[in-house]
């Protein structure tokens, strides 16, 4: 990837010029580029050869640090010529009381990003339907997903792009393991049930700590979530605290766990749908593992 940090898209106007910030920015951009290439988020060759039209991505902007970071990284790649994609930012105003409606439109206009603001009162639906004491996240997510798929179709976008990062994936993995009884995290690339919109996560290998530093350095106008974030005892928060504790005891454990998500051995699990245990017999190819005790 060419070093173009001396010239930047308008979003970076006023960004720090320190060496540490440039390294942080480059780390995030390179990480996203690797995800895009490794998991085929974009068929760059076909686009550049004219075999496929230039795609359009709907970048979901919540007003949190992760989605701001996502937009900045994608604009950086686009500026460098490494992302031949048209981007449109989209914010869903869900009707939470006190939501500062002016912040995102004003900021997006100032940095020159094409955008669309959608107003749908999902807040009232969620607070009415969910029983007292239960978390809002599941229903809120389903409603939001359906709206974003609709907007993507209306805008002619082949994909919606989300700002989930490495730590989100690990927390989801732990939640599925402890509460769901399955091994699953967040994929970098997913096709929706209807088969007409991709869901992409270019930051899925990026550390949350890097995105926190990046957002602070860029002085993004953060809008906190006051819906699910106002409830105590969320399972995801519990998983985050557990991972924090493991990280304190064994620095680097998050990155080790993240590598495991891309290093699966189906023959050493118990799911006959992904490995043919019944067909395994003597004389075939063996797969002994010295790390597994007898």
Q: Is 228 exposed, middle or buried (0-12, 13-18, 19+ CB in 10 A)?
A: middle
Question: Is the per-residue pLDDT at 3 higher than 50?
Answer: no
Q: Is the pLDDT of residue 5 over 70?
A: no
d(CA 204, CA 285): 34
Q: CA nearest 32: which of 206, 186, 198?
A: 206
CATH architecture of 15-268: 3-Layer(aba) Sandwich (3.40)
Give the torsion through C-alpha atoms of 64, 70, 76, 79, to 10 deg. Answer: -110
User: If you average pLDDT over residues 122-148, what whole number do you get?
Assistant: 71
Q: What's the CA gap between 258 and 253, in Å, rounded? A: 9
CA–CA distance, 280 with 268 (Å, rounded to integer): 13
What are the boundaries of each domain within the chain?
15-268
- Tell me the per-residue pLDDT of 160-197, one tens digit each, with 9 for 90 and over: 999 999 999 999 999 999 989 999 999 999 999 999 99
């Amino acid at each position: 990837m060419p070093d173009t940090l001396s010239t930047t898209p308008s979003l970076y106007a006023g960004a720090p010029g320190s060496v540490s910030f440039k390294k942080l920015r480059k780390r995030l951009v390179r990480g996203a580029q690797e995800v895009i290439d490794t998991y085929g988020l974009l068929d760059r060759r076909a686009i550049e050869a004219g075999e496929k039209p230039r795609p359009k991505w709907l970048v979901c902007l919540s007003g949190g640090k992760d989605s701001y970071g996502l937009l900045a990284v994608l604009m950086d790649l686009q500026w460098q010529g490494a992302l031949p994609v048209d981007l449109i930012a989209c914010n869903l105003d869900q009707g939470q009381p006190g939501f500062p409606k002016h912040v995102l439109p004003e900021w997006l206009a100032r940095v020159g990003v094409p955008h669309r603001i959608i107003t749908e009162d999902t807040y009232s639906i969620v607070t009415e339907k969910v029983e007292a004491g239960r978390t809002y996240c599941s229903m809120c997510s389903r409603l939001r997903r359906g709206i974003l798929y609709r907007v993507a179709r209306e805008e002619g976008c082949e994909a919606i792009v989300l700002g989930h990062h490495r730590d989100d994936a690990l927390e989801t993995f732990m939640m599925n393991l402890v509460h769901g009884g399955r091994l699953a995290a967040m994929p970098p690339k997913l096709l929706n049930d209807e088969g007409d919109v991709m869901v992409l996560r270019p930051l899925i290998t990026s550390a949350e700590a890097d995105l926190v530093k990046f957002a602070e350095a860029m002085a993004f106008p953060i809008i906190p979530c006051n819906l699910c974030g106002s409830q105590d005892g969320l399972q995801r928060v519990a998983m985050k605290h557990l991972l924090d504790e493991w990280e304190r005891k064994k620095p680097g454990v998050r990155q080790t766990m993240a590598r495991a998500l891309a290093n699966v051995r189906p023959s050493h699990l118990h799911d006959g749908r992904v490995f043919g245990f019944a067909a395994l017999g003597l004389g075939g190819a063996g797969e002994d593992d010295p790390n597994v005790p007898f």
